Amino acid sequence: MINKYLSIGIFCPLFVLNIQAEEGMWQLSQLPDLNLEKIGFEISAGDIYSPDKLSISTAIVWLGGCSASFVSADGLVLTNHHCAYGSLQRNSAKDSIDYIDEGFLAKDRSEELPAIGQHAYVLKSMADVTDVILKSVKGIEALTEKEKRIEQKITAMEKEAENDREDRYCYIATNYNGKQYVKYLFNKYQDVRIVFAPPAAIGNYGGDIDNWMWPRHTGDFTYLRVYQAPDGSGAKYSDDNIPLKPGNYLKIAKTDLKDGDMTFILGYPGRTMRYRSSYSVDWNLNRTYIPRIERFQSILDIITEMSNENQEAKLKLASYDAGLNNTMKNFQGNVDGMQSSNFIENKRAFEADLMSFINSKRKLKKMYGDVMEKIAAQYAILEQSYDYDQVLENFGGYTIGVLYNLGSKAYDVARERAKPETDRRPEFSEKRVKDGMANLDYAYLRFYEPFDKTMLTRALQQAAKLPEEQRITALDFILKGSMEIDAWVDDAFAKTGLKDIAYVKDLYNKTPEEIEALNDPLIDLAIKLYDAKDRKYEEGKVWNAQIQDLRKKYIDALYAWKGQSLYPDANSTMRFTFGKVKGYKPADGIWYEPFTTLKGVVEKDTGEEPFNNPAKLTELSRSKDYGKWIDPELGDVPSCFLAECDITGGNSGSAVMNAKGELIGLAFDGNYEAMTSDWLYNPELQRTIVVDIRYVLFITDKFAGADYLLKEMGI
């Protein structure tokens, strides 16, 4: 249970809350100031969040990258289908059964599948720790050293809070670019199981064509169940584990939902940049979004070709495919939105007005008069090594495959351990290393050797194209060696020991010198690149310290000018947002209604992916076998609806509730016309796309015949 009020006292004199529009991803501590009863809520702020009693927030679950909620007294959880996609993919690769396309239903609890790699986090407490952290760096003027000490303090506090328990997770979030620090402590449940996932023809209906689009007809939901050990701890998977008895769970709405009804969301939005400068917008548009769209598409072309030729490739690369497609469309939406709305030009005009005001006040000019020039100078620094940095980034993450990453991470850990503790990277934690090792087995469930080899070859070829003055000299042993790149890669994969999980795990017991003595070609590549990456890491720390300090001043300047309310940017902490069920006008002469129906699902059916509606669902529609899930006004089963709520990535799977606090749906997307919402909220355009709980229950009942789940939820 959440047991302590979060204080934002340092902000109360500065930021007076303003709720004239449904904008805002509000902290739970800000709820009492929102006057919810006056805007149509039938429950109080204390019913939504209270540190002293069970509240709706107690039923909210974080999945690490998505949101979810408990819907029964036996740990049953509802989230999005795409949030369970990774676990479905890993099970598919393990069992050679396509659980994504075919779906999965456990007839009883004994048949539930382990959600491989998935953990569930339930908020236990939160506290404002700003004073503690800032006092620890009092007197330190050098920005880089100050930020390093802050990170070290955060790591130490997180370690202390977790107390070496595998079933505890602590995250100290930074708000307002370092003006506030909040400690979130979670109970971590390591045994999560898949109960029911509809087939992709329902859970991902419309695929990438409909992604981010309205009207939408996707049944984007999956049921999971959280288990605990008999002693109540969040133990790893075991036959002895029992379903978790959550402190609270959401009740399903029993009343109709209609246009204009109030809704609200509790979830874990990932990241927004609402208080960034025009220089940040420009950089992200021209140096992040546009080039990465091209990069993602080239990788997707490779994945598509491999998946079409080989079923193993399709199963193992499914998560790459889904993730890249989703991110690419998000980036494209940002590009389209920014370019069509003159986003950067408008931002610069706004900043010109800001600086005109600042420079008109002697005191403010002294404090903030040069803030924009200094921000511009920081982005000029990034520009100097842009091509080099982009190529170096290829040697890590999704762009390099599985094996190289396994070797590189193990060597990085060995190098950190070899340092005196005070010299280690502030974020280094043995507990995090242990957590990572526990997931090593899962990495191989998405290892497809031809893809790994292609990605490494591609990265080396791009490095070879760098101009001489920006070349990565650490790669000369390959690029200026006697072997062609293709031949070197083939030889490296033939000789590496990284295909053996036991070999990889043993790397974590070795010193850097012992790893270097292995002469493993893929690990040797990581060793050669270590110094170059380490230099970029240190340069990044200096840059981040400078830009964060400037962003603080930018926010202060904005307040000095406008004096408006300020909720913090999203940072994967639980937030509250609200708004009414409402359609929108995407263009002249077009109005989008706020509801879609089962009839619309059938009308989109072409018989081919991604509009291959299951025949059984079509028959249910044609025979009007709606059961109790029909909407009286629509005369049909509602599939999805729109709400004005303010969300972003990470909110996927979030519970959407009515004014009474009852579950009415699951948030799963935003709309394409408002893709720039991470940068700016537009009340006329921004909408949350929600799968209606009645569609979820209709599919559960009429399509899957899983009436035992309905009974468990009290229906």
What pLDDT, in 10s, does the model give residues 146-198? Answer: 999 999 999 999 999 999 999 999 999 999 999 999 999 999 999 999 999 99
In a domain, 393, yes or no: no
Phi, psi of 48 (to 5 degrees): -80, -45
Q: Give the model's pLDDT for residue 17.
A: 39
In a domain, 467, yes or no: yes
Q: Give the model's pLDDT for residue 57.
A: 98
Cα separation, 468 vs 611, in Å, equals: 50
**Mean pLDDT within 460-472:** 96
Domain of 58: which CATH number? Answer: 2.40.10.120
Mean per-residue pLDDT of the chain = 95
In a domain, 438, yes or no: yes
Q: Give the model's pLDDT for residue 326.
A: 94
- pLDDT over threshold 90, residue 426: yes
Reported as a single tens digit per residue, the pLDDT across 389-405 is: 999 999 998 889 999 99
- pLDDT over threshold 70, residue 601: yes
- pLDDT over threshold 70, residue 476: yes
Residue that has been written with the tokens 């709520």 in this structure: 645
Q: Are residues 234 and 365 in the same domain?
A: no
Which residue is catalytic, options 652, 669, 678, 692?
A: 652
Q: Give the model's pLDDT for residue 398.
A: 81
Q: Give the model's pLDDT for residue 21.
A: 52
- pLDDT over threshold 70, residue 506: yes
Question: If pLDDT is split at 50, 70 and 90, which confidence band does 562 have?
Answer: confident
In a domain, 78, yes or no: yes
**Mean pLDDT within 621-626:** 98
- Domain end marker among 526, 544, 563: 563
Q: Which of 44, 15, 12, 13 is nearest to 31 (CA)?
A: 44
Q: Tell me whether residue 490 is one of the annotated catalytic residues.
A: no
Percentage of residues in the chain having pLDDT higher than 70: 97
**Mean pLDDT within 34-60:** 95
- Domain end marker among 538, 563, 588: 563
Q: Which residues contact 450 (CB under 8 A, 6 or more apart)?
A: 306, 313
For 232, other C-beta atoms within 10 Å of its C-beta total: 12
**Domain of residue 295, residue span:** 276-384
Give the burial class of 179: count Cβ atoms within 10 A of its Cβ; 0-12 exposed, 13-18 middle, 19 or more buried.
middle
Structural domain total, the chain: 3
Question: If pLDDT is split at 50, 70 and 90, which confidence band does 19 have?
Answer: very low
Q: Are residues 22 and 125 in the same domain?
A: yes
Q: Which of 288, 292, 270, 271 is nearest to 279 (CA)?
A: 288
3-class state of residue 660 by DSSP: coil
Q: Are residues 548 and 571 in the same domain?
A: no
Reported as a single tens digit per residue, the pLDDT across 313-349 is: 999 999 999 999 999 999 999 999 999 999 999 999 9
**Mean pLDDT within 292-304:** 96
In a domain, 389, yes or no: no
Give the residue with greater pLDDT, 2 vs 226: 226
**Mean pLDDT within 246-267:** 97
Is the Cβ–Cβ distance between 276 and 577 less than 8 Å? Answer: no
Question: If pLDDT is split at 50, 70 and 90, which confidence band does 566 have?
Answer: confident
**Mean pLDDT within 441-446:** 94
- pLDDT over threshold 50, residue 13: no
Which residue is catalytic, options 57, 72, 81, 82?
A: 82
- pLDDT over threshold 80, residue 128: yes
In a domain, 390, yes or no: no
**Mean pLDDT within 208-229:** 98
Q: Are residues 255 and 284 in the same domain?
A: no
Q: Are residues 625 and 708 in the same domain?
A: yes
- pLDDT over threshold 80, residue 518: yes
Q: Which residues contact 72 (CB under 8 A, 6 or more apart)?
A: 249, 712, 713, 714
Q: Are residues 42 and 187 in the same domain?
A: yes
Q: Are residues 439 and 577 in the same domain?
A: no
In a domain, 198, yes or no: yes
Q: Are residues 625 and 670 in the same domain?
A: yes
Q: How many CA atoms lie within 13 A of 548 on its CB side?
A: 19
- pLDDT over threshold 50, residue 10: no
Which residue is catalytic, options 74, 98, 220, 569?
A: 220
Q: Give the model's pLDDT for residue 564.
A: 66
Q: Are residues 266 and 330 in the same domain?
A: no
Q: Tell me whether residue 81 is one of the annotated catalytic residues.
A: no
- pLDDT over threshold 60, residue 298: yes
Percentage of residues in the chain having pLDDT higher than 90: 95
- Domain end marker among 539, 563, 587: 563
Q: Give the model's pLDDT for residue 7.
A: 31
- pLDDT over threshold 50, residue 8: no
Q: Are residues 430 and 523 in the same domain?
A: yes
- pLDDT over threshold 60, residue 289: yes
**Mean pLDDT within 544-552:** 97
In a domain, 394, yes or no: no
Is pTM beyond 0.85? Reply is: yes
Q: Are residues 511 and 539 in the same domain?
A: yes
Q: Tell me whether residue 82 is one of the annotated catalytic residues.
A: yes
Q: Are residues 11 and 111 in the same domain?
A: yes
Question: If pLDDT is split at 50, 70 and 90, which confidence band does 651 have?
Answer: very high
Q: Give the model's pLDDT for residue 6.
A: 34
